[in-house]
A and B are shown apart, each in its own frame.
Chain A
Amino acid sequence: MNDGWFAGLDPGDGDAAARRIREGSAPEPADWPGLAVESGFADDEADYYDRLREATLAATRAAVTERERADDQQLVHAVRAMDDCERTANELAERAAEWAGALFDEAGSGVDGARAVAERDPDTAAERRAVSLAERVVDLADETEELERFIEETAPAVAPNLAEMAGPVLASRLMALAGGLKPLARKPSGTVQVLGAEDALFAHLAGRAPSPKHGIIYTHDYVRGTRPEDRGSAARAFAGKLAIAARIDHYSGDYRPDLHEELRERMAAIRARADDGTENAEGGDDE
């Protein structure tokens, strides 16, 4: 079916029109002005464009407001909830697998094992409980995925540069560790570099350990994917740009493609050291 946004719409219903513009879709375009006049939705082409203008302005205004209202605190909650769900799902999956192993012949382990158990038809009271427990595991695992999807949709609106640079999930984790976008924007890049490595940092400050090279940003390929002897440089360069990205996102909100290009170039330069066999002179590449 290939319907325009106005199909079956009451021409006087502005709210419904705006909703159609925002949520509708079609496999391919068509002569919508002509079809709208033909179907009686508009008197003529000019009338159609007037209605289209009203509907697109209302729809886009509402969509922008909604996307902007999604704030950093929702992301902080979502990413913490996602981690809790994942951890709890894994923990419960172990318990469910142990129980299922005692009741059924072939019971796998982990969340996948729980998914298989949840599909079973229980015969006894004990089986009912074990299968039910496995179903909770599956629900939690599904919720983890839903939360991740929410983060992926929301982070680019809240912090476009940070989300582009770190990926939506890591961007949200950094905000969660700092307590929000604003506190993150106020942190120096050296702090951003070791966010999530507080234990190691305090051990270092107490004189018991070397300074940590990276915190949670280790999970990003820019750090993890760089050879160990260059990881300190990579983490420092990455954290520097992340700190700038957080400031731009908090104070202006514009997407700045140049910032991302600079980082890509910098990373390419750091990684090129591995190719041309240059020994890493640690500290010689401060920006």
Chain B
Amino acid sequence: MSEESGDGALPAGVERRTFDGERRLATRGKPVYGEPTDGAWRAWDAGRSKLGAMIASGMDVGLSGGETVLYLGAASGTTVSHVADFAGPTYAVEFAPRPVRDLLDAAADRDRLFPLLKDARKPDTYAHVVESDVDAVVQDVATRGQADVAVRNAQFLADDGRLLLAVKARSEDVTADPADVFEDVLGTLTDAYEVLETARLEPYHEDHLGVVATPDRSE
């Protein structure tokens, strides 16, 4: 694991490298969305990736590399392709067919990235494919009921696994104060999780809250 002072530890396979004079996160893999590259490394744009922003802003996401990951809301594969670069088996769930076309391209170049056209609100439609005891559930779905989605998918996590959730306030209620929305979401999360850390994702993403949580199986 590579350490940098004053910052959260980066997972093995993720490094800070210089692209066009700027220090940015990077992983090793084939480019997916026209991002800048440096040899085998490609820049991980924290402005386009909530997980990238969580790592870049120093949150302890508990990843060290090689984990089994369930990624909910994979969209066209921008972030999940970076995850698959440093993690182990990575299940990518996305509901909309068109972005999944691009996700399939990203998956074609990675041998442990499994794309699934499924609805993250209905885990039973992929529980026959996604294994139990995954090390991390990464969630970035822009629909109402983001906390419910996280609660329903808690069943996939190992006891010491991590939920890495990006909550988008405006997906829940555009008119409400984001702080109130985040409080509601965190309240619902306690049905299945113990929240370890939260942080706003500004300046990378406006009105987003990054949440790190672990399953609460005390009952």
Contacts and interface: CB of A to CB of B under 8 A. Distances in A.
A26 B124 contact: yes
A269 to B, nearest CB: 9
A31 B128 contact: no
A129 interface: no
A128 interface: no
Nearest to B155: A28
A56 B114 contact: yes
Nearest to B112: A49
A60 B116 contact: yes
B114 A52 contact: yes
Contact of A28 (B97, B101, B107, B132): B132
A25 B133 contact: no
Contacts of B131: 29-33
Interface string A149-163: 000000011001000
Contacts of A60: 100, 103-104, 115-117
B128 A56 contact: no
A4 B142 contact: no
Contacts of A61: 104
A60 B97 CA distance: 9
A53 B114 contact: yes
Chain B, interface size category, equals 35 or more
A49 B89 contact: yes
Contact of B98 (A29, A31, A52, A253): A253
B127 A67 contact: no
Interface string A52-82: 1100110111011001100000000000000
B125 interface: yes
A156 to B, nearest CB: 8
A261 interface: yes
A248 to B, nearest CB: 11
Interface string B89-118: 100000011111101100110011111110
Given A50-B111, A52-B114, A64-B97, A264 B175 contact: yes
B101 to A, nearest CB: 6
B14 interface: no
A268 B173 CA distance: 11
Nearest to A262: B174
B132 A57 contact: no
A225 interface: no
Interface string A63-104: 110011000000000000000000000000000000000000
A53 B112 contact: yes
A25 to B, nearest CB: 5
A21 B116 contact: yes
Given A21-B129, A25-B125, A68 B98 contact: yes
B205 interface: no
Contacts of B133: 31
A3 interface: yes
A118 to B, nearest CB: 34
Given A257-B171, A265-B174, A25 B127 contact: yes
B17 interface: no
A24 B128 contact: yes
A28 B125 CA distance: 10
A53 B127 contact: no
B16 interface: no
Given A57-B104, A57-B115, A64-B117, A26 B175 contact: no
A29 B155 CA distance: 7
A34 to B, nearest CB: 8
A20 B128 CA distance: 9
B97 A268 contact: no
Contacts of B112: 49, 53
B121 interface: no
Interface in B157-199: 168, 170-171, 174-175
B175 to A, nearest CB: 5
A156 B114 CA distance: 23
26 contacts: A20-B128, A21-B129, A25-B127, A26-B128, A27-B127, A28-B127, A28-B132, A30-B131, A31-B133, A32-B128, A49-B89, A49-B111, A49-B112, A52-B129, A53-B111, A53-B113, A56-B115, A57-B107, A60-B103, A63-B97, A64-B98, A64-B104, A160-B98, A254-B99, A265-B175, A268-B175
Interface of A: 3-5, 20-22, 24-33, 49-50, 52-53, 56-57, 59-61, 63-64, 67-68, 156-157, 160, 253-255, 257, 261, 264-265, 268
Given A160-B98, A255-B99, 6 more contacts: A56-B107, A60-B103, A68-B98, A257-B170, A261-B170, A265-B174
Q: 6 smallest A-B Cβ distances: which pairs?
A: A26-B128, A29-B132, A67-B97, A26-B127, A56-B114, A63-B117
